[in-house]
Structure 1
Amino acid sequence: MTGQVTAHLTWSPALGRPDLLAPATTAALHAWAAGDPRVAEQVMVAEIDPALADTAALSAAYALPLDVSANCVVVAGRRGGEERVAACVVLATTRADVNNAVRRLLDVRKATFLATDRAVEESAMEYGGITPIGLPAPWRVLVDSRVPLAGDVIVGSGVRHSKIELPGELLAEMPGVEVVDALALG
């Protein structure tokens, strides 16, 4: 079923198109595929106009329903002098509940979005393309429980000129992912 959601884009297996992925994303996909052969078959990538990488523009230009797009936002907070960082994956029709759910999960007094320049530098991914696949090991990857239920979902690829499509169920099973009820509002 992967690749069926979006007839307006040309999808191909992501592992065969490293030119459409951030290096960290490529490395993570290879490692993940070594333990789960579904990754090679079901994680797809499509080239897009980088000017249309933002969800609303992408959806309009390529006739993609918003309920199959997932956004990945990076949030941080401090506790006892220790910074705690998490990438939160939520459907585009919702928004991460940073002030309550994420703050509690990080066990911090206050959680805020990580500054764009830091998120880009530390993830080694482009702004507007940050994906949960290939993030730094210390970062938690929190996925709202509605994402796996969405069927195939579209996420960033680590670069602005492409998007990844994969089953939400598979994303929920990615090593290091924590599926969380009520991570998002809306």
Structure 2
Amino acid sequence: MDLNWVPAADRPDLVAEPVRPALRDDVRVAEIDPALADTAEFCERYGMPLDTSANCVIVAAKRGGEVRYAACMVLATSRADVNGVVRRHLEARKASFAPMDQATSLTGMEYGGITPLGLPAGWPILVDAAVIERSEVVVGSGLRRSKLLLPGKALAELPGAEVLPLAQ
């Protein structure tokens, strides 16, 4: 199966319900094998360089008994500095990756397909500066059976987005 990128608005069945209202004209979608949704397997099978994929990780930031959630976007070739930059930026005592069941239930998206488009209102979206420098990046669609392709700079234009040096 090769990637057949089409306007995401033409294939809403390939995008999770919470993501649909956040789609823009410059977002394309392609159907993939759901068993290959994880970044490394996806890139290898479909011939995409790792640095064209941007991973979305959900972080749980804790302070004084309160938990706040945020999304972090980093290229697949790097890791988000959750315990440093992210924790300090969110003014948390502790920050960690949200458990899978929390991440999926809070976002309404499938594990391995979580995307910054369509996240709950008020969630910060922390985007590594390297991501917005890419002319196009591949991100999740909210579903394991497809991927989105959009300009890297579009991620900086999402509600709640902030560009930071997140990568380690």
- Please indicate, yes or no, whether the TM-score normalized by the shorter chain is above 0.5: yes
Q: Deviations over 1:84-128 (max 9, x none)?
A: 211000000001101101100111111011010000001000000
User: Structure 2-normalised TM-score?
Assistant: 0.96
Of residues 98, 106, 116 in structure 2, which corresponds to 1:114? 98
Structure 2 unpaired stretches of 5+: none
**Aligned equivalents of 2:61, 2:157: Cα separation in 1:** 26
**Aligned equivalents of 2:142, 2:104: Cα separation in 1:** 9
Q: Which amino acid aligns with 2:89?
A: L
Q: Deviations over 1:117-147 (max 9, x none)?
A: 0000010000000000001113211110110
Q: Which amino acid aligns with 1:93?
A: T
Of residues 133, 137, 141 in structure 2, which corresponds to 1:149? 133
Count residues with an aligned counterpart.
167
Within the alignment, does 1:58 sit opposite 2:52 as a pair?
no
Of residues 83, 94, 105 in structure 1, which corresponds to 2:78? 94
Structure 1 residues 1-186: aligned runs within 5 Å:
8-29=2-23, 39-40=24-25, 42-180=26-164, 182-185=165-168
Identity score, percent: 59
**Aligned equivalents of 1:173, 1:87: Cα separation in 2:** 14
Structure ranking higher in helix proportion = 1
Q: Which amino acid aligns with 1:141?
A: I
**Aligned equivalents of 1:82, 1:165: Cα separation in 2:** 35
Q: Which amino acid aligns with 2:27?
A: V
CA RMSD of aligned residues (A): 0.9
What is the deviation of 1:176? 2.0
Give the aligned partner of residue 34 of structure 1: none
Structure 1 unpaired stretches of 5+: 1-7, 30-38
**Aligned equivalents of 2:166, 2:59: Cα separation in 1:** 12
Q: Deviations over 1:32-83 (max 9, x none)?
A: xxxxxxx21x110000000000000000100000010000000112112221
**Aligned equivalents of 1:179, 1:15: Cα separation in 2:** 27
Name the SS for the 2:18 alignment partner: helix
Asked whether the equivalents of residues 14 and 143 of structure 2 are also in contact (C-alpha less than 8 Å), the reply is: yes
**Aligned equivalents of 1:76, 1:174: Cα separation in 2:** 20
Q: Deviations over 1:122-174 (max 9, x none)?
A: 10000000000001113211110110112100000000000000000122112
**Aligned equivalents of 2:158, 2:104: Cα separation in 1:** 22
